[in-house]
Each structure stands twice: as structure tokens, then as C-alpha cells.
Structure 1
């Protein structure tokens, strides 16, 4: 908890100003002075009944200065069996607070411009008590906001309800509690918080359109690097790799960039980058480090004497040290290679351009046990060209499904999709994919849950013929012996630059598809043509009903070439990048809050039976309220609409009150070894913040 800064005016003066502001709002807006709570309680563990360690879950002992004080959990409660008690015996300097945790899983989400009723039941033996609020600022992190109301002395449980001013700009969460700054004892219980902003006509949710569409926020700071590649690491930080960032001048100057971004604070850490890792491949190893392969050896020559050339070099990025270390070279260079982790933790990489600018036909194989790339004679070779960034998804039987999604130009000869069996060294065509030569920067995802073995491929275009991108989706069930693509529902229509509606069969390439904790797929971003004409449209795809819900809130930043969107551990979606044909690069970062974040307080994972889970076991968790489901989501490693390792593994549950047994698959091909985000979802569809667990 960040402590409150030394005030420039007395606490009493600040309190009077705050009370004046509240009274002014009451008079001008016609609000009742003691309003009833109008919507869902946004407080996690509001009755303080769930305990973790020595204090209630989602609450902490806070304050500043030199004073004699004690915190305890009291059995003198307004309801239930627990309250929080704070005693000052020597007030001295500063104060003490029983406050909500400044944590994304506990802090209530708020909407800019909205107002909230904050309510608490309390007893206090001193008049020196006040309701205190902190806010999360996108640029500054957690900062003190205001003191809202003084709490009069009372020996009986008394309720105090206060309405906040409007939430300031760039604020996405608040925390609050009761501060004591004079000798005496304060007890609190049964907290509540509700959005009291008047809903639009016909809208039952006070958060307005966000209740059904979600909302976007553009961060008030830019990325420090061109985010060509984004990897969500087990630390909660995001690895952003630019290399030369598609800038030939930076390549010539050997100015190669990487940054580690911390979403919770907005901080960037610069990382020394050894090579031009622009358009490399990347995947998480089972220990949480990131294997980065290939990249850019040279840009295409102006005289057309050669095209882009692929690097042989390969590195491992360690999030513990924020540094790269080199491993042995691949057998051949690769620019735009695929990267798929296998059930044993090894990595298969296919496709891309080699050191001579031609398409590589090598199968590159990284042994996790040996921590090295196998030589040409050691790895099985099919001598097939798979295109650039071919989307290769691991199937439950250990084979790889080439979905037909790729980057640049036409697809491969034949049906455009196939199954590759590395062990048997065979390739089997898969039919049914429509417009196979217009799948440039389409995106393919293994739908939730992974156990169903269904893949959805969305959108695409062709950068050579530069036709209008399409709205097609195709769906395949990989369980049959001879799977076949079938037509899926079309992507909903969006608008282009200037708000011009799309017509006919127009759609988008550069599309992003993100698996969400509630089991749906968020589809966002894209453009109508090669590096041009951004499309502003977003939708939710429901695998259970095979339908899109149109009209989700749209990213205000164009997201075409070199853009990515991916899931954060707090259930939001982060979006980066845009590199149109004029060579510029949009450095803005956008964050999407899905509708489920406006439905109420999150469930809490209050306990784990360890964070290292073996296959076929039944780990146990504890939660603070009933849950609907639990799942593992593999963290993103995405570039160019390609993240073939993205997957959602269902965890069947055995429930005994707040103790939940989870059943982890015994098949490592369904959940390849590594670190995963563990989510639980409440009965109202609201997900927890993820806990990190290691599988295998």
C-alpha cells in the first residue's frame, strides 16, 4: 500500500472541503444524502468472513507515521462472526487504516465519470476517523484521492454511506477504507459499494454500454519500443520485442530494442537486445523462460538482388533477470518461423525465409532436455515449405494441425490446410478451408475448452493481389479420423476509417482473437487491405452456440499490420501496435475491460495446494464464494495474428463448500508443460484474477 503523502493542509480542513464537494453534488444533482445502494456490491469479501493469514482476504493493515497501534480480527461483528479492529494508543504522527488491498483481484473496477455509493458499518470511540479513498491512475499507479466523510463516535453498530465525486480521468480502480488518527478503537464490518450513475433508458446496468460492450482505455503513455512481438510472462510482465522494428535505419545502426512492460504500474524496463529479433519466432519453455528463434539477418535490397534474410541465431529470455542468453544456432536461418511447444516440452519450428531469402524447408527441433536445437540429421525432415508464420496447433494425439493461417501472399499448394505427424513424418491434407489463398494474417484459435479439439479460423486477405479482406470463418473438429473444415458464421460488419460502414463481403485481415476466462473468444482489430484501411469492429464469439455477438466496444487506435491483442492475468485484454504502409508505427497501448468486469466483485482464489501440478492429479483450491468453473489459460506469445499455443484447458471440479478439487488432464498434449494462468469464474460469470501454476 502506498502511504498517504504528508498533507499541505490539516486533515480536518481537507475533510471539510470533501464534505462540501459531496454536499454540492447532492444539491446540484438532486441526489439523496443517504442513498440506498442501487446495484451489485462491488466489494470482494465485504463481510470480512474469509481469512488468509492473520487478516481478511482482500484487506490489509496500512497507514503511516509513528504511532502506537494494533490491528486484529474481532468477533464483535455487525453480521457474521468477524470485524476488523484498529486501536491507536499513542496517536503521535500519521494514522492507521484498515484498507482494501491495492491489488487487481481485490480493488473494485470503476468507470470514469461515474459515481459510487460507499457504505460501511462501524463503531468508533474517537471522532478522529474518516473514510479514505485511493485511486489507480494509469500513469502514476496508486495515489491518494480524497477523504470523504467523518464518522461520529458511536458505541452501537452504525452505517455510514457516502457518494464519491465523479471518477477522474485515467482511473480504472479504487480502494477505500476507514482511517483512524486519534487515540481510540475503530471497528468496521459489512462494506458495500455500488455504481449509482443513472443507467440509460432500458439499460438495467448502471455502467451503461460497458455492461454489454465492455470498454477501452488508451494508456496516457506510449510504448517505449515498437511492439512487433508480445509475450505474457509468468511474472505478470509483458515482453515486448521490436528488434529493428521494421525500420531499416535502426537495422543499419544496429539499434535493436526490447522492453519489459509491467501493466500494474505502467513501468518499462529496457533490455539489451543482441540481434535483430524483428519477425522472429517465440514460445514459452516449460520453466517459464522464452525461447526466441531466428529473426532478420538483412532487409530486402532496393535493387531486388535479394529479399529479407533469416537469422540462424537463437536466444532464451529469462524473466527472472530480464536478459537474453544465447543457445546454439538453428540448422538454418528463419525469418517468420512458427513455434509450437509439444507435449514433452520440446519445440517444433517450421516455415519462414532462410538466409538466402528463399522459403526454408527445414524442420527445426529444439530439445528441452538437452536445451539445444537438433542438427539436420538429428531432427526428422519432411522437406516441405509451410509458408511464413504457419499456424501449427498441437493436437491431443501429438500431431500438428496446420490451420491455413499464415502471413504474406498465397497459401501452399493443395487444400491449404493439413495435419503433420512429426513422429511418422507424414503430411495429410485437410479439406474444406474456403479461400485458402486469402488467409494472409487471418487468425486461428483452439477453441475453449481444448478437450473439445475444435479450431476456428477467422478472416484474412492477400497482400499480393490486395483484394478486399473477407469476413469468413471456418470451423473444424479435429477428433474424427478425417477432419474437414465447415463454414462458420461470418465476422460481424464494422466500420472503416472515417466511420464508413462496410458492405457486401468485406472483412479484415490482421485480426486478433483472444481466449477469455468466461470461455468466449474476443475478436478485435484488423484492416481491409494490405497495411491500409483499418477496420473498427469487435465481437464476442461463443463456442457453445457458434455465434458472434456484434457491437462490442472498439479499440479507438487502428490495429492493422504488426498489431497484437492478448489476455492479461486480471482478465483484461491488452492491444499494441500498428504499422501502416507509410512506415509509421503507433506506439499507443490500449486495454479492453470485457463486460464481465462490470457485473460485480470478483471471486477470490484464497488458497492453493501448491503451484507445481503433475498430470493426472487433483490439486485443491479454496475460494471465497461459489464458482461456476475453473480453467487454465496458456499465456500469450503473439505476433502477426499468430499464437498457435494459445489454449484454454477445462478443469472439472469436485466441490465441498469453499474447497474445490480440480481434475487436471493426464494428457500433456492437451496442456503442454509450462506456466499457466489459473482462473475461476463465479456463478455470475465474473472471473477471478489469475494465479500462476506450473504444469508438468
Structure 2
């Protein structure tokens, strides 16, 4: 392990360069004063040792209390080509950071926690985007057919397809073609339906002569003559010199918080880049959306479910629902019903799959939820439960126009899903238009809203450098201390077991107001200490069980039981790209005992899907204990 090199107090927050040294000194003195911290909280920066710094695209709080930071190739094509993929486990309690072997490029994968506390990580980057002026080799999708019912056939990356004119094209990834299926119809008639899969191919040589817009059949090089050559072949509609989008992977891993290693499990059936993985109430996981192996948004017919018992995926054709990439989907209190908030991270047409609504998995019906303001600016917004999940109130914060639009909104809109006809209603507005906000649910039922930018990827030096705390009881915003580090695209934030908040990442396009200097990825971390940790001694949970069943009671020894005002079970976060579908706080009924408290865990799996939770005891001043880890199962 590598010791932490620097934990530096931040004083210069939003300080214009024209300020005098005296003004800077006064400002630093103000933000470091106890009265200011008690009202606004306090930020600190963390700079990891050089050898373990990374572009933290993904951040997850492990049940060990350590933080998993995943870069993969970190949005750096040179790292991708070199096969240099990074993962770091960071301990916020000690400052230690450790590099972890990363099996493939998990950049822009999806993730969620499983009932046993492992983090499921699926998808990632198979290929980087190539803009049209830079395309040197024609490429396109090849549909590979198998007309033999004798079994599937697998082929390696680099398999060659030969056109009728002799031009050669190579497969960009390994692939398996399912066997053909036989269907017996009346009077002994048998229909054979060829098995099929799709793989991206690149021209073996450069230039326009390899491009074609004519549908054609392609021979697979290396197959023996006879039945194999007749039954196995490729079909392509077109192969062009057009822009080539990012392409997704289908590999899936479980990250073990004990061994701190990735473990390979069954692949997804569909390749995905920017997918959402949502944990369901039975412990299974639903995967939707993402860019496929040809750079197209996965169509809804390929939604699939992971079973943690068998460690395999099953395609659910009955759950045919299209979403833009990284859609926010929450498990609601109603069994089998998910809420799509409309928040997403980009790819997909502006007129398809953008409207919020309730998706019933029992019959694949979708009920739109109206009323959201700036409906054309849900891209790059973030959503979270407002207060305990029992309230079934969801907030949608900020966002911007589709793609590289300059639009951004100050909107905070809320919806109560318990209403007979749910409808969004306005909340308090943010002080500035905000794309890429980070939302973190705190133990006292408030929500920290921090970071973001007014323009696409912070263009024009538009990072906001502001933070606010939303109070659901009064539907108001309170000022928080300003973060020193600006964060926009590729940033994340999560709650720590000690009640503080960690923020990571930021990937601006430019480093200056005139957009003339290329931006660099922000590798510093920042920790926010909320005001409640400056209000005196915090309560302590000293003993208690490590696991509790649904609807069961458990007793925990605490300091000053008479002062405990509330208890919360908070699910650990797995965050990326304004997406954190794991985050939820569950209110817990309790009674006070002479030496502690007895809690009653809710019986509804829809409120708290099985898995690890942080148990916080909060006193009458709103000060939370350090969390005790509890598995709900």
C-alpha cells in the first residue's frame, strides 16, 4: 500500500484572480472558521501519489469501507491501444491506495451491487470513436449466418471475410454464431432458421475502394470446402468510410471486496457501452441500453437479466423497452415497477426514449409521468430519491440539451410516486444552469448537490464551483461551502461511512475560457465534511449483528441511546456519468433500550433490495454516527 501524500485544506474557493492578498487571506480565514463550517461545511483536497493516480470514471463504496475507483483506459486512446487499464482501491480512513489488476477496458461500463456485497461490472469499451476525417479503413457490421443445426461455431478476433471481388475484411472481436433451429410444421415439413450474430469488420487495406453500399455475401476464410463453406458465411448491407462510434464489450465481472480482485462470470448476450445495471428486489440485475458492437444504441429487445445464483444472463424479449444510454431506472416500492426519471447521458435520438415514466415489468407497460420542466434538457441531469425511500419522492436536478448543446437548466423538479397520477412539480432552482451535477443522499435526509458546468463538458471555463444542500422537509436549498475543484463530465460523488462525501473525476474539453487549450482529466479527489459533523460529539454504534433479515428486529449497542432521533439504512453507491441507481436511504423504526436501540428492518424488498447497507444512528442535533455495515437478506 502507498501512504497518502497530501491532505490539504482548501481555502481559495471561487476567488477571482484580481483579489488582493488581503482579500484572499480574509476569505481563507472565513471558510476555515468554526462558525462557517457549522453552517456550510468544509472541503479538503486529496492528491494521491503519482504512481496510483488515475482518471476515476467510476467510483463505488465497497462494504469494506474502501473505495473502488475504475478508469479502465480513462478516455485515453493511447492507453486503450497500449492495453493499459487501471483500477485503484482507496481507503479514505487511512489514505492508502492500491493498484488492482484490471482484466479489460471497463471504461464506461455499468455496475451495481449484488446481494453478497460484490460489485457486478458489465460492459466497457471495445473500440474508441473515430471521426470521419480520421477514418482510414472502411468498416461496418457483418451479420454472420450459421445454417447448420449441429451446434454453435466460435471464431477468433481477426477472422477474415472475403468479398466476391476478393477484398478482405477482418473481425474486430471474437464471436460465436448460434446453431440453426429446426421447426417441424404440419405433414412433416421442417423449416430451418439460420443462427445469426453480428460483428464489426474493418477493411484489410486503406482507402475508398473497400467501401461499398451494396448488400453482399462474404466467405469466411479458412473454412474447409463443403458443408462448412455452404452453412457459414457473412452478410453486409454496407461498409463505409463514415464516422465510427464507440463500441461496447460484453464481458462481465464480479469485484470481490474481500480479495479485491475481479472475477470473470458469464458474458452478457449483447455488447454494451454506457449501459445501466439496476438491482431488482429479488437480487437479480436488469441491464438495458448502451452502444453495441457496431456503435448503435442497443435496441430494447435485447434487455437482459443477471442471476447472481447461476452467474448467467438471460435475454428478456418480453421486456422490450428502448432507452438512451445510461438511463436512470429506480426500483420503486411497487413490486416489478421501475421508475425512469428521464435522466440519461447522451447517445440516442432526441425524440425517442426520453420521456419519464413508470415501467411495469410484469406486462412491459409504460405509463408516462408528465410535468417536468425543460423536458428537452434531461440529458446530463442527475436523479436521486429525496429523503427516505419510503416517501417515494424522486428529484431530477439540472441537465442540458442533447449532444453538444449549449443549453443548461437550473431545474430541480420532484415527483411523488405514491400519488394516483404522479406528476412532476417545481422545487427550488439552482443558482446557475447545471449539466453534470452530483447528488448525494446524506444520513440526515438532506441531499448534497455539487459540481457541474453550465456548458457541454465545461466548455468556456463554465464549471460552477458551487454546492447546495436540499432540505426535503421544507423544499428549500441551503448554501454549502464551495468546492475548490471544478467537476463536469466523467465525475462522481458518494457518501462515506463516516458521513462525509467523496467527489472524483472531471474531463473538460478545454482548460481556458477561449477554448484554445485542451483540457486534462482532474485526478485530485475532494472530501466534503457536512455541517452536521461540526455540531458536537457524534453518537456511536459499538456492537450489533452483521446481518439482519427482512421484517426482523436487531439490537445495537449505542452511546447515549436517549439522544438517538432517527435510524437510516443507506445502500452503498456505485456512481458514474450522473448515474447512481444504487443510492437510497431507508427509514428504520426503532425503540430505545438502556444500552442501545432495537431496530425493525422493513419487510419490503422493493424498499431495500438485498445486500450490504450502512446503518446510521442520528442524534437530535442531526449528527450521524459512523456507519455500521449490515447485510439485509
Matches within 5 A, 1:197-596: 207-221=34-48, 224-303=53-132, 304-361=242-299, 362-374=302-314, 376=315, 379-398=316-335, 399-408=337-346, 411-413=350-352, 416-464=355-403, 466-491=405-430, 493=431, 506-532=432-458, 533-549=462-478, 551-581=479-509, 582-596=518-532
Partner of 2:541: 605
User: 1:66-105, CA deviations, whole angstroms, 9 ceiling, x for partnerless residues?
Assistant: xxxxxxxxxxxxxxxxxxxxxxxxxxxxxxxxxxxxxxxx
2:80 aligned counterpart, secondary structure: helix
Is the Cα–Cα contact under 8 Å of residues 409 and 433 in structure 2 kept in the other structure?
A: yes
* Alpha-carbon distance in structure 2 between the residues aligned to 1:140 and 1:455: 37
Q: Relative contact order (alpha carbons < 8 A, sep ≥ 6): 1 or 2 greater?
A: 2
1:389–1:642 CA contact under 8 A, matched in 2: yes
Deviation at 1:663, TM superposition (A): 1.4
Q: Provide Cα deviations, 1:184-211, integer angstroms capped at 9, x if missing partner.
A: xxxxxxxxxxxxxxx99xx9x9613111
CA RMSD between the two structures: 2.1
Residues in 1 aligned to 2:362 and 2:106: alpha-carbon distance in whole angstroms: 30
Q: Which secondary structure state, in structure 2, belongs to the residue aligned with residue 535 of structure 1?
A: coil
Whole-Å separation in 2 of the counterparts to 1:565 and 1:580: 17
| Gaps in structure 2 of 5+ consecutive residues | 11-25, 133-241, 510-517
Q: Any idea what SS the aligned residue of 1:470 has?
A: coil
For 2:33 and 2:463, the matched residues in 1 are separated by 32
Contact 2:277 2:286 in 1 (8 A): yes
Q: Structure 2 CA distance, aligned partners of 1:140 and 1:639?
A: 25
Distance 2:128 2:121 in 1: 19
C-alpha contact 1:415 1:430 (8 A) present in aligned 2:
no
Q: Aligned equivalents of 1:522 and 1:360: distance in 2? A: 33
Q: Does the C-alpha gap of structure 1 residues 543 and 628 become closer, same or farther in structure 2, counting only changes over 3 Å?
A: same
- How many pairs align? 485
Structure 1: 4+ residue segments shifted above 4 A: 409-412
* SS of 1:597 mapped into structure 2: helix
1:61-76 to structure 2, matched below 5 A, reads none
Match of 1:219, SS state, is strand
Q: Secondary structure at the match of 1:208?
A: helix
Gaps in structure 1 of 5+ consecutive residues: 1-136, 142-168, 172-198, 494-505
Q: CA deviation at 1:599?
A: 0.9
Kept after mapping to 2: 8 A contact 1:404/1:433: no
- Give the CA deviation at 1:683: 1.5
Q: 2:568 is paired with a residue of what secondary structure? A: strand
Matches within 5 A, 1:147-162: none
Q: How much has 1:452 moved relative to structure 2? A: 0.7
Does 2:558 match 1:623?
yes
Contact 1:315 1:325 in 2 (8 A): yes
CA distance in 2, matches of 1:384, 1:629: 39
Tell me the distance in 1 between the aligned counterparts of 2:608 and 2:577: 24
- State yes or no: 1:139 paired with 2:8: no
TM-superposed CA distance for 1:631, in Å, is 0.6
Shift of residue 368 of structure 1? 2.0
Judge conservation of contact 1:411–1:438 (CA < 8 Å) in 2. Answer: no
Change (3 A) 1:412 1:294: farther
State the Cα distance separating 1:440 from its structure 2 match.
1.6
In 1, the alpha carbon distance for the partners of 2:4 and 2:89 equals: 17
Deviations 1:127-162 (A, max 9, x none): xxxxxxxxxx96389xxxxxxxxxxxxxxxxxxxxx
Partners of 1:138 and 1:170 within 8 A in 2: no
Q: Name whichever of 238-247 and 214-223 sits farther off.
A: 214-223
Asked if structure 1 preserves the Cα contact closer than 8 Å seen for 2:541 and 2:557, the reply is: yes
**TM-score under structure 1 normalisation?**
0.67
Question: In 2, distance between residues paired with 1:383 and 1:630?
Answer: 39
Counterpart CA distance in 2 for 1:217 and 1:170 is: 5
**Deviation (angstroms), 1:423:** 2.2
Residues 310 and 220 of structure 1, relative CA distance in 2, 3 Å threshold: closer
Which residue in 1 is equivalent to 2:173?
Answer: none
Q: Which moved more, 1:441-450 or 1:239-248?
A: 441-450
For 2:83 and 2:346, the matched residues in 1 are separated by 26
Change (3 A) 1:644 1:209: same
